[in-house]
Every structure is written in structure tokens, then in C-alpha cells.
Structure 1
């Protein structure tokens, strides 16, 4: 397992560098680059959505998954954990940026989705688990290494703790890939991609400040979409 650790290292190093530089980075760079990353997230999302095979189970997974996320207050839980982590980190490090707690939590959730459950990370982990080829995750590592400093210059050292959920997600997918992928079909994987793409699209809107989608609450849809797509293909498709 190479890719998840390389990606985690790139995210950690980039976050530390960005938080250390903080306000010393050009203001226009700190303000404009997140907009570019948000636009890239939306573009990736659109590219993933067009792969859809069965739209109905994808929409159903997104609606039911988001409903479950809202009921268990997934995003609220993540925000509380992020707020606590920020407080602990700022006791031993100089705070970076001048965001209010509300602004910080809003941006942190969107960045968490971008780093931890992006399409490239999910597929890269599963691909390495099946083939042993870490290329996709290494490419993601390069992107994260340049993306993380910008967000860390705004959000501070707290961005570095995203290494933990990122590594957990990627390692789990890597280890489970041999069990999951034989049960899938190209159509199921296409619908999984489309569902992930919708979440990436919502993440891009949130990063750009266009619309505050509950992206963390939408994550359970990724768990539901594969079985729903399989059932749809068996009984309807």
C-alpha cells in the first residue's frame, strides 16, 4: 500500500508549509486560488456525472443518503470535531488567518470532502487495491501538495489533521477493493462515479461561496448508490 501514504504525506507537508507561511502568502493568491480549486472541483464533478448509467438510483441514493446524514447530524459532528481540533492546535501554534469560527467551520467541511472523498482518491485507492498500481494516488498527491498550502494559509494548521480521515478512507478502500470490485459491474461503477460527481459539484459550489450545500451530510449516498444501482439493474434495467 503505497498511494495512501504518499498522498497523506503530501497533504501533511503542504498543510504545514501553508500554515507556517500564512499571511505572508500574497493576499490575491490566498483569495483567488480557492475559487480556482472550487471551479476544478465542479469540472471534475461534471465529468464524473456524465458517466451515469441509471439516473434514478443515483438520485435516490443522493436524497436518502443526505436525509440520513441530516438525521444523524453528520456535518454538525464534523464541525464540532474541527472546532475542538482548531482550539487545541491554536494553543500550541499561532493562529493563521482571521476567520470567524462560523467561516472556519464552513470552509473546513468543504475542504475535508475535497481532500478525503474526491473521485480521484476513491478510484485511486480501489485501483491500487486491485492492481497494485498507485499512479492515480500519486497524481492526486501532486495536486494536494499544491492545493493544501493555499487552504492551510487560510484555515491554519488544522488542515493537517485531514491526513487522518483521508488515510482512513483510502486505506479502507484499498483493503476492501478485492472484495468490493468483483461484485460490481461497469454500470454500477458508472453510477458510483456519477454520485461522487454530484457531491464534488456541490463541494465546488460551496468552496466558491455560491451555494452552501450540506456536502458532509451527502457522503452517506456513496454507501447507498452501489446496492441501489445493482437492484435497479436487476429489477428494472
Structure 2
């Protein structure tokens, strides 16, 4: 089953989010401390990912152009509007303990950005090997427990884009490897990891309350990385 790893990953996010909501009665001071710990951990993870780049100038260029495109489209606004729409549909009770929009956007960015999902989905599609995605699912599940306890039930909804994103890669993995040479794919994953790492740092700083960076508006940078790597590889 090609989508087994993706399904398990999404399911563990849902289970973690539900468990997190059952823990919503924990003291506010404890929530703040745990959220700060997650913010620091996410920031350190982003720093670690950022060092994966072999050409950091490329990462900067991709972030700049991606940020310009993202601000022009304003992806952050559309993601928040989607979360707010769901929040209105569920009503105020569903958002107690946190905003559905905030929980959805923050957790989606954390769970989607990174090479682990891409590599895991490729392994699922090409070799029917789901170990990497299941490992990612365990990590995402524990993270969603804490995020849901602090940011609300919107974290659960992040399972949907995770399933779609990783599922599409798994389903089209055979075609991807036919079109993209292995060396180019490795270079893309390397630079995508570094670029995504910068975004992860921004998410960590947002969670710590130090910044209010519209990280979603940087997502086009990942597409720019793909275009830049294709150009470098071919020319």
C-alpha cells in the first residue's frame, strides 16, 4: 500500500491533537513553559537544517524571491482565512484554549516543511518502505500533543495538508525519478532542507513570541529552490 506511511503520519497527528485537547486543563504557566521549550527546540532544529546547504547564497536568493512572491500572493492571509472559516463553522467552543487558525497554520508549517516528508514519501512510492514516514509520524504525533494543548484543536486539521502533500509525492514518485536525475534530486533535497530550516527557525521565534514573521509567505521559496537547482544542474 503506497499511502500507508502517509496515512499513519496523518493519523498520528490526529491522535496526538486529540490527546493534547484532553490535556487542555493543564496550568497556564505549564503551557507557557512547554510552549517555550517547543519554540527553542524548533529553532535549534531549524539551525541544524540550515547547515545542510552547500551554497548558502542560493538559499538567501531563494528566500528573497520566494518571500516577494509569497507577499504578493499573501499565502499567510489565505491560510489564516481558511482557519478562521473553520473556526466559525465549529463555533467558539472548539477554539477554547487557542485559535483554530493559529493552530492550523503553525502546525501545518512545522509538519510540512522539511526533507523528511519528501524522502519518506519517495521511499513509500518507490520501495514500499514506510519506515521513515512512520518515524516522522511518531515525532509529529508527540509534537501535536503539545501544540494542541497550547494552540487548540486547529492542530488536528494540519493532518489534511500533510496527507495530501506526502500522498501526492508517494503516488507520483516513479514519475518524479524518471524526470529528475538522482544527483539533481539529492541537490534539491539538500538545499530545500536548508531553506526550510530558515523557515523553521522563524516558526520557533514566533512560538517564543519574539517575532511575528509571516512564515507561510516564504513557502514559494521551496519552489524557487527547485527552479534554481534545475538551472544549476543543467547549465
* Corresponding position: 1:18 with 2:29: no
Alpha-carbon displacement from aligned partner over 1:156-188 (angstroms, at most 9, x marks no partner): 222211111111111112223333345142333
Cα separation, 1, equivalents of 2:96 and 2:36: 19
In the superposition, relative to structure 1, how do residues 61 and 94 fare at CA in structure 2: closer, same or farther (>3 Å)? closer
1:113 to 109, 112, 116: 109
Alpha-carbon displacement from aligned partner over 1:71-124 (angstroms, at most 9, x marks no partner): 111100000110111121236x55421x5x6xx645542222012334422332
Q: How much is the aligned-residue C-alpha RMSD, in angstroms? A: 2.2
Which residue of 2 is the match for residue 148 of structure 1?
144
TM-score (norm 2): 0.86
* Corresponding position: 1:76 with 2:77: yes
Cα separation, 2, equivalents of 1:4 and 1:73: 28
1:48 deviates by: 1.8
- The runs of 5 or more residues in structure 1 that have no matched partner are none
Which residue of 2 is the match for residue 29 of structure 1?
30
- The runs of 5 or more residues in structure 2 that have no matched partner are none
Which residue of 2 is the match for residue 41 of structure 1?
42
* Corresponding position: 1:8 with 2:4: no
Q: Is the 8 A contact 1:125 1:174 kept in 2?
A: yes
The aligned length equals 229
Q: Is the 8 A contact 2:114 2:192 kept in 1?
A: no
In the superposition, relative to structure 1, how do residues 17 and 154 fare at CA in structure 2: closer, same or farther (>3 Å)? same
3-state secondary structure, aligned to 2:209: coil
Question: Runs of at least 4 residues of structure 1 off by over 4 A?
Answer: 104-108
TM-score (norm 1): 0.86
